[in-house]
Structure formats: structure tokens, C-alpha cells
Amino acid sequence: AVTFSNTRIFNVDAHADATGSSAGAVAQAQGVSQWTLGDNVLASFSNSSTGSFTVDAVATATGTVGSSANASATGLTISGDPIVLAVSNDKKFEVNASATADLANANALGMGVYATESAYTGTSPAVWASLNTIGGTITNSGNLTVVASALGATGTTTTAWPLCTARSTTACNLR
């Protein structure tokens, strides 16, 4: 089993500030990442009623010629094949990404579950052997908040996903 249990305060903060003629800032924050390998391996995550789980990424850039800022924040990722999960949030679970610059990009993902492991048989011709299955439960009786904000003079992009389940980490298009 792969287990994370929070009964207190869990904070992850990434801050990047840049100043110059052409300035660039990148802030990336990852809360918890779990990988399961093999059949029936449980991925367990619990943020109890006494816990607080926060992941923040803040990027700010100021340039006289131009500036860019990219902020990316992820709360929880679970990857494997097959995946058996038990996820429970009973309190505060927050993921925030904020970017400020001429060109600003912010991406936030609350929880990502990916059946991503790929396998082929050793026979010729090779045969796809991955299961690409996800089973179990995700329960939220608390506050799940996911925010992406970008402030830019020439352009902005934002993506905020509370929950993404997919066969590939690129399916949520965050990284």
C-alpha cells in the first residue's frame, strides 16, 4: 500500500519573482504524488477533519522590455496500472496557481488519477498488456478548492481542474 494521512497542517509553497529588462519566472508546486506498481496495490490518501492541505505556486515577473510568468500547482496525483484507490478529504483541500507578468500562464490541478503504466508482452509481435483500469473511491465531505489566476498585459492562459481521471498525464493538459 502507498499511504498518506494528514491530521494537521500540510503546506507546499513555491514562489518565483524575477525583475530585469526581459524577466521570466516559473513556480511549480506538487503536494503528494503516489505511484502504485502491481496488482491490487492500494493508494490511500486521507485529509481528516482536523487536517488542512494547501498547495500554492506564485510566479511574478516584471521587465522593462517584456516579462513572462508560469505557475503550476498540483495537489494529489496517483499513477499506476491497475489503480486501486481510497481518497478521502474531510476538511480544507486547496490548490492555487497565480501568475503575473506581460505574458502569464497559471495551471492548477486538485487531484489527478492516471492509469498510465504501459506494458507490452515480450512476444513477437508485441501485444499491449496494460489494463488501464481505475477502481476505488474518492470521497469529499470537506472543501475542495482549485484556483488558477493569471494577470497579464499581452496575454494570459489559465486552466483549473478539480479532478481528472485519465489514461495519460497529458489528458489534463497541465504540464
**Is the Cβ–Cβ distance between 119 and 126 less than 8 Å?**
no
pLDDT class of 175 with cuts at 50, 70, 90: very low
89 secondary structure, DSSP code: E
Strands (DSSP E) found in 126-172: 134-140, 143-166
**Mean pLDDT along residues 21-27:** 98
Q: How high does pLDDT run on average in the chain? A: 89
Count of CB atoms situated within 10 Å of the CB of 98? 23
Strands (DSSP E) found in the chain: 2-6, 9-36, 42-47, 52-80, 83-89, 92-115, 134-140, 143-166
Which one is predicted more confidently, 129 or 100? 100
pLDDT class of 167 with cuts at 50, 70, 90: low
